[in-house]
Each structure stands twice: as C-alpha cells, then as structure tokens.
Structure 1
Amino acid sequence: MSFVREDMNIVIVGHVDHGKSTIIGRLLADTNSLPEGKLEQVKERCRRNSKPFEYAFLLDALKDEQEQGITIDAARCFFKTDRRDYIIIDAPGHIEFLKNMVTGASRAEVALLVIDANEGIQENSRRHGYLLSMLGIKNVVVLINKMDLVDYSEEVFNKIVKEYTEFLNKIDVEPNQYIPVSGFFGENIVASSEKTPWYSGSSVLEVLDGFDKEKLPDDKPFRMPVQAVYKFTGDGDNRRIVAGTIETGRIKVGDEVVFYPSGKRNKINSIELFNAEIPESAGAGSAIGFTFDEQIYVKRGEVVTIAGQPKPKVGNRIKVNLFWLGRQSMVKGKEYLLKVGTAKVPVRIEEITKVIDASNLQNAVKESIDRHDVAECILIAQKPIAYDLAQDIAQTSRFVIVDNYEIAGGGIILKDLEDDSAWLRDKVILRNNKWENSNISREERAEKYGQKQALICITGQKDVGKKSIAKELERKLFNDGRIVYFLGISNVLYGVDADIKHTDNDSREEHLRRLSEVSNILVDSGAIPIVTAVELSKGDVEIIETAVDSDRIIKVWVGEEVTTDIEYDLHIPNYDSLEAAVSKVKTLLQDRGIIFKPF
C-alpha cells in the first residue's frame, strides 16, 4: 500500500521590498528542496557578475525574473519537511499586482504576512491583512523580517506587534503567531535563533508543521458548479456527462440532485472519473462527472445541489463586500462581468452603501469605488445566479469582477435581496422541479426533424410588418420540411391569458411569462415557434429567457429605429419584399446551425 504525502498551500504576502522572496529562498534552500545544483549555479552566476549572493535570487532564477528585480505574478514553488509537502503561492507586494495576490490567497490554507522591522507597518501591510480577512484565511502568521537591521531589538519587535495587533483586531483577524526573523541570515526560519534569546516561540518551519491540514468541507451542503457538459456519440456511447469540481459536501450514486438557478432535477446514475476506477461516492475537492437516470439539459454556470439539503440563494440582486483594484474607478451605470463559481453574468452597481479605505479603515460616502477601496454595495446582475452567503458557505460566496477583460475586483456575498423577477423565477423553478421528461432526447428530435429547437422572436414598433414576416417565414420553413409554428400573440391573449385584463399594463410580465411557457413546450417538442411582439426590451427578453434557454432564442428587430435596449441577433431596418426579409432570417438560422446550410 503506497503512502500519499500530505500537502498544504501557503501564501506569502507583504509590502514591496519587505523580504518575501528572501524568506522563500531560505525555505527552499534550508529544507534542501531546490533542484540539484541550483544553489551553486546561482552563487556562481553572482560571482561572475561581481554581485553579492542573496537568497532572493533563488526565487528570481526559478521564475526567470532576475532582470526585473521584483516578483510580478503569483507563482507556485515547493519545499518539504518530514511531515508534509508545502506549496508556496508567492503573492506580489507591489500595489499594481495586488489582484494576483488575491488570486493566490484564495487557494491558501495558511498566510505568511511579512513586515520589515526597519521600515515598519506600511499601507500594503494593512491592505493585505484586510484582504486575507475577506478571503477567510484563518491561519495567519506575521513575520517581522530584517531583524538584523535593528540589532534584533525586542523593543522594535514588540512595538510592531502592538501596532499591527490593534489594526487586525478591528477586522477580526487574530494571528496565530508573530515571529522575529532575518531572511538574509536565516534566523528563526527553519530553527530557533540564538540572536533572539528574548523570543521563546517556534521557528517559521516549526509553526507551519504545527498546523493541522484544513479538513475538506465534506460536512457542508453539497455544491458543485457545472464546469462543462460532455456528450459522447462514438461506439454506441450516448452518455451525457455533467462535469465539475466539488466545492463542498459529498455525493453518491442514487442521490437526487437539483440544479440552480434553473431548478431542474434528476437522479445520479453514475459518478465518472477520468482514467480511474468509478467510485460510488465523491467529496469536496474531487473533479468528477455525473450521468443521470434521464436526459437533462443544463449549462455551465449552474450549481449542482442535493435535494433535501439547504438550497443556495438564487437571484440577481446581492449585497456584497468587494475590493477594487482596477485602474479605472468602479462606477454606477457601467456594466461589468461578475464571475461566481463557473457562472459569468453582466452586472452593474445599484447602490454604494459605504466605502472603506483598507489601509486605515476609514469610512466615506462616495459615488464611485476607487482603486484600493473596499466597498459595501448592492449589485444587480442581468440574469439570476446561484450562490451562498459568506457566513454560510464561503466557497460559493466568493466572486471576481472583470472590467475590460481583466480581473479588477472581487469579494464576498453578504446578503440576498429581493428582485423584480423573483415571482417568475420561483414559478419556473417549481415547473422544472415537476417537469416530466420525455424518453425522446433533444438530439433524437433534432436528428429526426433535421433541425435544432429554437424560439424566434420578431419585434419592433407597431405596423412595421412583423406579423407578415413571421407568417411568410413560417410558410418558407414549412415548405422546406421544417417543424415550425407561428404563435400569434392573440392566440395567447384570448386563450391561456383569458383570465387577465388585456388593458392592465401591470399584467405585461404575466402575459410574457405565459407566452414563454407555451413557447417552451413547443421548443421542447423539437419545433421552431415564431412569435411576434411590440417593442421587446432587454427586461422582456430576460422574462422569456427565464422560461426558455437563452441559447435557443433568436431575436429579430424590424424597423429602422430601435426604440428599446434589446440586444438583437438580427436587425432588418428595411426590406424590398417579404421574401428578402425572410431570406435574412433564414440565413441567420443556417449560420447558427438551427437548420441545414447547403454547401
């Protein structure tokens, strides 16, 4: 029976030039964890260049950063003791690289926070402490480095400990230990130093080895963000595998699962692993896949849960605590990309409740969130997401915000807030929970009919020819052998909507919901329904997307002037004939792979 060594992730943070790289170099060298000959190679290079050797150069050599002289990206390096293997996530100290520190720290079990004894506590020392607190890293060890520059003064050490402890107490962080060290001379790094007889605590390495590895959160409610959905077709293999990494909890074959935010439900038929024996159960940290008793269609970004366990929150309005690191301030009215788990959704600020300077914890009332600010604010997402609150399940409460294709901020979700579409979402979740799946799969219908399911929404101002285009499109596709159906709004208004007052403007959302539900049944049958409506907005489309998968909806705007904020797939400003307009829509369907495109 082979023994698997335990490993532990640690992150090392600190203000620039406070000696993080030197400490890492010492840990690598003094535990004999460097590649063979690397220490001698770096010493020889320094000798040839008439440059004094420093242990920080070991890290620079490993990361090929010696020319820049600074650490510019979160990097992973390794050292080992008799007890375990350590993975160091070196988080940069330069302010411009702070976001990389956040990326690294989010995976760490222990944080080493380095402060220069000679320079004392700096702004970034406080910021790093605040961010580690937000990320929920409980094991924090503060290293007072460069003690050799202050003659190993107990007075200097105690002064820094007192000042930094007062700051950390305000943000509910209690360090496990403060250690006086000299990375340059290796004092108190792997063994206790005679230079600090007044210090009776352990060395850095002894403290690290004293930590028990954090237990995987198997005892929490099950959460697995869907990373991908794979469909196999070769050699009679018709499995559909939903894959991802388990964040919390355990799951076993036979468990009934619910996907959020869709609310779809199914039962686990098998647990799949790549190139490994198939297990009967799996827990937190496992990268796995599922197959199900029945065909089910879910997308990346949904969260898998176990029926009967506490549910995640679902909504598009959240109260958050976020830090901002973008070069441009975060402002109201601008759209950003929110990433929670594997979900990505456009988001904007609804309200900034308060802004905190993380270096001094001062509150301010501001209309924007500037670089290095920490803010409590309300975000509103374009679509509902599934998440947990930070106090319940930290793993699924963390998020990042992308601005102009770069991670510019991140934080934790504090509270779920009521939103306008909650009533609709609850109805759809209930519908999906009770939905009776057919034994005929979506792929079988598509193969039989020679088309993919889709809903075509034709919209625009009144009297621009929407209905004429829709009916001519129906005729064209029908003559081509497609399963297609024009669903006139009157068919719904005076049918399934007969109990609603047609003149009541407040009932528009309910009209759209019912239209969407009828459309969803047609789409599920494998057909291509075509609907028309006057001036659909982005909000209207969001209601439709709650009932019908968004990747199945084609939106066409007819008329020169686009009078709403809709994000259309095709704009027909004018046309010479119905045939020309229909041809444009048909070409779009072919380009999207919904109907056959001849070559």
Structure 2
Amino acid sequence: MTKTSVNLAAVNTDDAALAQRVRDLLRIVIVGHVDHGKSTLVGRLFHDTGSLPEGKYEAIQAMCERRGMPFEWAFLMDAMQAERDQGITIDTSQIWFKTDQRDYTIIDAPGHKEFLKNMITGAAQSDAALLIIDAAEGVREQSRRHGYLLHLMGIRQVAVAVNKMDMVDYEQEQFNLIEEEYRDYLTSIGVTPTFVIPVSAREGDNIAEQSTNMAWYKGPTVVKALDSFLPSAPTVDQALRFPIQDVYKFDTRRIIAGRLEAGSLNVGDTLVFSPSNKRAKVASIEGWSSKGEFENPQTAQAGESIGVTLDEQIFVERGDMASHVEEAPIETDVFRARLFWLGKEPLTVGKTYKIKLNTFEARVQVQEIERIIDTTDLSATDAGQVERNQVAEIVLRSKRMLALDSFVDSPRTGRFVLIDGYDISGGGIISMEGYADQRDLITQKSTNITKVEHGITLDARAVRNGHKGGVLWLTGLSGAGKSTLAVELEKRLFEKGMNAFVLDGDNVRHGLNANLGFSPEDRAENIRRVGEVSALFAQSGAIAITSFISPYRSDRDRAREAAGEHFHEVYVAADLETCEERDPKGLYKKARTGEIKEFTGVSAPYEAPDAPQLTVDTSTCDIEDCVQQLVDYVEAKFGV
C-alpha cells in the first residue's frame, strides 16, 4: 500500500498546514460508459493509496454483510442511497486522495446518457481525465461521446483505463484491440491519450501496484500515470482577464469587485473595460486578509478575488471585462461555436437564448446551424435543428457587442453556456474563424474634432441634380454579378442625366485601401472605409453605387448607420454553385485548392441580408432584366 509523503502526526499543526499548501493539487475527472466500473476503480484507488478515512472500509464491509451481498468497492464512492439502489452514479461527486507525488481532487462524473450535463460540469473543472472502458464490452458509443466532450472542454491530458481485465482472463489480445481502436479515435479528434492501462479495479491489478496477472504490460499503474500529469499552466502569465462581478460603494469609494481569471494587475495599470471601451487607471487594490481585515496590496494575480478603485469615476457594471489595453479581448456581435446541446427542446435557427460569458449575460440568436457532428465517426451532416445530446457547429449573433476570447487563445474565458428559460441547455467553445475582431471598427481614437456643417441642404442639392443622393449597396457572393450590374447601372443612370459613380472592390484596393489585406479584420476595415466614403457621396447629392461582397451583416449595418436613411441594400442573389460555375476570375478554383485562404463562401462565411430593400436574382434572370430592376428602383426611390 502506497503511503503519503507527509506524516502529519510527526509535525505540528502549522507545519502540517504549510506542507499541505506547497504540495501540487491536480483535478482529475473520471468518465466512462455506465457500468464500466468508474466508482469501483475510484473506491479501489482510495483504498490502495491509503486515502480512506479511518473506519470507512470497515463500515462499507459491515453494510454489505447486513444486506447479504458481496463487498462493493463502488460503495466507497457512491454515498447516496439512490445510487446504491439504482446502481448508477447520478451526480458529480468530488473527493480527495493523496499519493507520494501530490494531492488530488477526483471528480466522478456520471456515465449515463441522461446525466451528460453533470459530466460536462465535472470536466470543465478538471486538469486531466481518466476514461474507463470495459474490457469485455469494448469501445461503446458513449465512450466515443465522452472522448469528444473531453476534447470539446479542452482537456488534453487523458489516461484510458481498460477495466475488468479479470473478466476476459487478462488477455493481451483483447486489450490490444481496444487500445488500437480508441487511440485511433482520440487521435482523429486531436486528443493523444498519454497512457492506455489494462486494469482490474475489483482485484486491484495495475491500480497502485503492478499486476502479476498481466506481466505482458510494461507501462505505469494508474497512480503513476496520474502522478505524471501536470497541473494546468498558471494563468498568471496570460493576458489579464478580470470579469466584473459587482460594484460596491464604501464611504466615498466605488469598489469594482471580481475574480481574476488570468494574468495580473498592479496599482497604476491602465485598464480598458469591454465592451464599453472605457479606460481608467487602478488607484488601489482592495483585498480581504485571512484575519478578516481590509488590506491594500500593490499587485494581484490570477485566482484572487479582489476589488479595485479607479482614478476617475467611469460607469462600470457587472459583466464588463477588464483587461490591459494592449491585450484586450475580442469585441464582436457574431461568432462561431462548437456546441453540446442538452436542452429539452431542440436548438433551432432564429431562436433566441440567453448567453453567459463569465459574469456577462446577453440575448443571442441562432443565425445558422452549419453542421451536426456525429461523435461516433466524426461525420458531419446538415440539419435544421440540434437535438438533445448532439454536438453542432453553429453561428450565434447578438444585438449588442460581446467581449470574448477564442477558446484556442484563452480556454478559461473562451467558453459559454446557453440558457433556455431558466435551464442551462447547452455549452460550448468560441471560435472566431472567418469573423473579425470589431474593436477597432467601433473605437473612435480622434479627439478635439468638430463636425463641419454644410451651408447647402440635401434638398437644395436634390433640386439642382434632379434626384436625391444616396448609397446603392450591392452585396453578394463573388461571381454573383455585382460589378457587371453596377457598371451597367452607372451607364444607364448617366444617360438619364443622373450623377452616379461606382465604387468597386478591386478599384478601392488600388488606392484608398491599398494597405489592407484579406484577413477578417482587414476586410471589415475595408468595408468601414467604403461605407464612410459612400455616405459622403450621398451627402454631396450623388448616387454612390458600391459593388462589394461585404460578407458580414455587422459591416453593412455600420455602412447603413453612416448613410442613414439614404442607404439602400441590394442583395445580388446567386447560389454558390452558380457562382462557382461562372468563376470569372478563377478565384473559386484557387480557393478550393487552398491557394486563397479565407475565401467567402468556401472557407469564410457570407451572411446574406436579413431584409434588403431589393433582391436581384442573377441565377434566374438575365443581365438586362436585372439592370432594369435596378433602374426602376432608383427612379422610384431617388426621384425628387
């Protein structure tokens, strides 16, 4: 039996407390298909490491004798009467044990399909995972689902215990088959199991001591495997993330309170509060000492719950995210998500849910269900809704700006949950793939500026020109026919004596936007500039005809805001197949071969207009008909 390295009886109370604090703590989630033996393995693990409370083993043994049943190691874990009666773990339990190496919190998560929500809760708190598979039953659908969910929650340290080897006579061949199948699956989803260990929890094989029944196995025991895992990397070296929990008033001070999720801050640091983008310096850090008294440290680090006061009174509220200016979170009103759905009702396009991002809450709408992921074979299918216990890739949109992080950049702040009514119905991770950080697009950096008022009214310009000014914004996929229609429309309007000018994507990138590339952020800035220039054309009394893919609704909304009531959105509709067949510039072919990255409709999103003023379908109408529709619209809307 392995003994702990700290003999508490041999040291005084203060020394014991110190010894316990300096030991590492690792949080392990135990998952697996129902009846594959998780609770039995945990019970045995406690016993074999000498971590059981005194008398606990004897108490369970006596209870089993009273009931006339054989000893059950699982009863050391399953304390609830309902669990004993049903024979399944129905809640997430956290218990502690120790080895020579470190202290552990083991989170035993339910394996039954109906309790996956609890399993996800457990996994979200863990540094590593121990996944159990029955040697006789092999890899089950639930085993694959659990592996995928561990991947979804960002757990990369995984040990697999192939349990009940005694039930298959400790056969190496059976173990090898299971190991190969499950390693291949985990590898395909980006998880590399560090160890796959043959065990018998009931008999104690390869739990804390090397098994004599499986001399063919040369790897570590479960205990040694767990001891080799590393606690989560300290988040103090990451970008500061300080979600605001609440704002309190003490005497004349306003203390902004919360828990530092990542990074560190010091008195004197300049903080930006997202999504409002307000800034202020930290005047003081307010802490609460172990003696129950206020203290004023000069610095604070990840994991600490603190309050701060600012050098000026700006409006800050619960849900704001404080960060350093140089490493602020993303600001966006749309993002991609990989979601696990647990709701009683299916998730559907167009439905609105409440999203929780740290302490921030907002309403979001499901804009698109891109695909449903089959966790057994990782195949993807299209579907109009996401059913319970399904994994899906979706797009969520909010009517207000959200401050968030991509999961790959910040796992702690890159997760979210969705609430339907009063129930947590789904959880997932955030991806900004194909979408832009909109922070710079909505932040005004210029100061001490005054807008110049013109001495000529819009009505006067309209009378002089014989028509109103405005923006005719043509949007659609590459190859839909935007440029062709814009140039022909400009010619027709010129012949009618109207003052019109085309702003085309390729033309503005030769001059005005020559310094911009094709990243999501550069594409968004490209459209922002064009939107502002188009609005100036409209104010001059001219008709600005813009021909841009402009794939993001938020960018077109900003262009609409710049031009106000003079903005007219025209959707040049053509399906992707039609556009690829045309491919006038050969761009789709290059995108399909990977020569062009982030290409709209192929590797980057296109968000069709919600309610355009005019839709022109170039896949069903010829150019002449489409141009005439545009001319008719201009005469109807721009006439004096």
RMSD across aligned C-alpha pairs, in angstroms? 2.9
Matched, 1:155 2:173: yes
2:337 to 313, 316, 320: 320
SS in 1 for 2:223: helix
1:125 to 132, 135, 143: 143
Instruction: Give the aligned partner of residue 511 of structure 1.
Output: none
Note the C-alpha offset of 1:83: 2.3
Instruction: Give the aligned partner of residue 270 of structure 1.
Output: 284
- In the alignment, residue 427 of structure 2 is paired with which amino acid? G
Instruction: Give the aligned partner of residue 261 of structure 1.
Output: 275
| Residue 293 to residue 30, structure 1, CA distance change in 2 (3 Å) | same
Note the C-alpha offset of 1:427: 7.4
| More deviation, 497-506/175-184 | 497-506
Instruction: Give the aligned partner of residue 245 of structure 1.
Output: 259
Instruction: Give the aligned partner of residue 370 of structure 2.
Output: 353
Note the C-alpha offset of 1:359: 2.0
Q: Structure 2: which 5+ residue stretches go unaligned?
A: 1-14, 460-467, 473-553, 562-640
CA distance in 2, matches of 1:406, 1:383: 23
Matched, 1:115 2:129: no
| Residue 496 to residue 347, structure 1, CA distance change in 2 (3 Å) | farther
CA distance in 2, matches of 1:45, 1:409: 40
Counterpart contact for 1:317–1:417, Cα < 8 Å: no
Matched, 1:384 2:398: no
CA distance in 2, matches of 1:279, 1:204: 42
Matched, 1:296 2:314: yes
- In the alignment, residue 293 of structure 1 is paired with which amino acid? D
Counterpart contact for 1:216–1:285, Cα < 8 Å: no
SS in 2 for 1:103: helix
SS in 2 for 1:29: helix
CA distance in 1, matches of 2:137, 2:70: 22
| Residue 268 to residue 504, structure 1, CA distance change in 2 (3 Å) | farther
SS in 1 for 2:432: strand
Deviations 1:509-558 (A, max 9, x none): xxxxxxxxxxxxxxxxxxxxxxxxxxxxxx9xx99xx9xxxxxxxxxxxx
SS in 1 for 2:118: helix
CA distance in 1, matches of 2:399, 2:351: 12
Instruction: Give the aligned partner of residue 495 of structure 2.
Output: none
SS in 1 for 2:76: helix
- In the alignment, residue 387 of structure 2 is paired with which amino acid? D
Counterpart contact for 1:219–1:249, Cα < 8 Å: yes
Note the C-alpha offset of 1:372: 2.4
Note the C-alpha offset of 1:383: 2.1
Counterpart contact for 1:358–1:372, Cα < 8 Å: no
Instruction: Give the aligned partner of residue 381 of structure 2.
Output: 364
Instruction: Give the aligned partner of residue 28 of structure 2.
Output: 10
CA distance in 2, matches of 1:97, 1:143: 21
Q: Structure 1: which 5+ residue stretches go unaligned?
A: 436-493, 508-538, 547-599
Note the C-alpha offset of 1:34: 2.3
Instruction: Give the aligned partner of residue 59 of structure 1.
Output: 77
CA distance in 2, matches of 1:161, 1:368: 35
Note the C-alpha offset of 1:93: 0.5
- In the alignment, residue 254 of structure 1 is paired with which amino acid? G
- In the alignment, residue 376 of structure 1 is paired with which amino acid? E
CA distance in 1, matches of 2:456, 2:261: 46
Runs of 4+ in structure 1 over 4 Å off: 416-419, 425-429, 494-507
| More deviation, 325-334/62-71 | 62-71
CA distance in 2, matches of 1:279, 1:141: 41
CA distance in 2, matches of 1:197, 1:499: 94
Counterpart contact for 1:351–1:378, Cα < 8 Å: yes
Counterpart contact for 1:258–1:307, Cα < 8 Å: yes
CA distance in 1, matches of 2:454, 2:98: 69
SS in 1 for 2:142: helix
- In the alignment, residue 423 of structure 2 is paired with which amino acid? E
Deviations 1:467-509 (A, max 9, x none): xxxxxxxxxxxxxxxxxxxxxxxxxxx99999995998989xx
- In the alignment, residue 384 of structure 2 is paired with which amino acid? E
Instruction: Give the aligned partner of residue 68 of structure 2.
Output: 50
Counterpart contact for 2:355–2:362, Cα < 8 Å: yes
Deviations 1:553-586 (A, max 9, x none): xxxxxxxxxxxxxxxxxxxxxxxxxxxxxxxxxx
Based on CA coordinates, which of the two structures has the bigger radius of gyration? 2
Instruction: Give the aligned partner of residue 529 of structure 1.
Output: none
TM-score of the aligned structures, taking structure 2 as reference length: 0.65
CA distance in 2, matches of 1:391, 1:500: 52
Matched, 1:331 2:345: no
Note the C-alpha offset of 1:109: 0.5
- In the alignment, residue 142 of structure 2 is paired with which amino acid? N
- In the alignment, residue 407 of structure 1 is paired with which amino acid? I
Instruction: Give the aligned partner of residue 21 of structure 1.
Output: 39
Matched, 1:306 2:324: yes
Q: Percent identity?
A: 45
- In the alignment, residue 325 of structure 2 is paired with which amino acid? A
Note the C-alpha offset of 1:258: 0.4
Instruction: Give the aligned partner of residue 375 of structure 1.
Output: 392
Note the C-alpha offset of 1:327: 2.8
| More deviation, 496-505/345-354 | 496-505
Deviations 1:385-439 (A, max 9, x none): 10111222222111111223222211111116669x96xx7676447x979xxxx
1:41 to 46, 50, 59: 59
Counterpart contact for 2:272–2:328, Cα < 8 Å: no
SS in 1 for 2:78: helix
Note the C-alpha offset of 1:173: 0.8
- In the alignment, residue 121 of structure 2 is paired with which amino acid? T
| Residue 46 to residue 240, structure 1, CA distance change in 2 (3 Å) | same
Matched, 1:287 2:301: no
- In the alignment, residue 421 of structure 2 is paired with which amino acid? N
CA distance in 1, matches of 2:455, 2:203: 84
Counterpart contact for 2:267–2:282, Cα < 8 Å: yes
Instruction: Give the aligned partner of residue 97 of structure 1.
Output: 115
1:198 to 216, 219, 240: 216
| Residue 36 to residue 498, structure 1, CA distance change in 2 (3 Å) | farther
Counterpart contact for 2:353–2:420, Cα < 8 Å: yes
Note the C-alpha offset of 1:255: 0.8
Matched, 1:186 2:204: yes
| Residue 430 to residue 27, structure 1, CA distance change in 2 (3 Å) | farther
SS in 1 for 2:427: strand
Q: How does 1:409-448 map to 2 (within 5 A)?
A: 409-415=426-432, 429-430=443-444
CA distance in 1, matches of 2:54, 2:276: 54
Instruction: Give the aligned partner of residue 104 of structure 2.
Output: 86
Instruction: Give the aligned partner of residue 442 of structure 1.
Output: none
Note the C-alpha offset of 1:153: 0.8
Instruction: Give the aligned partner of residue 160 of structure 2.
Output: 142
| Residue 407 to residue 70, structure 1, CA distance change in 2 (3 Å) | same
Matched, 1:396 2:413: yes
Counterpart contact for 2:415–2:428, Cα < 8 Å: yes
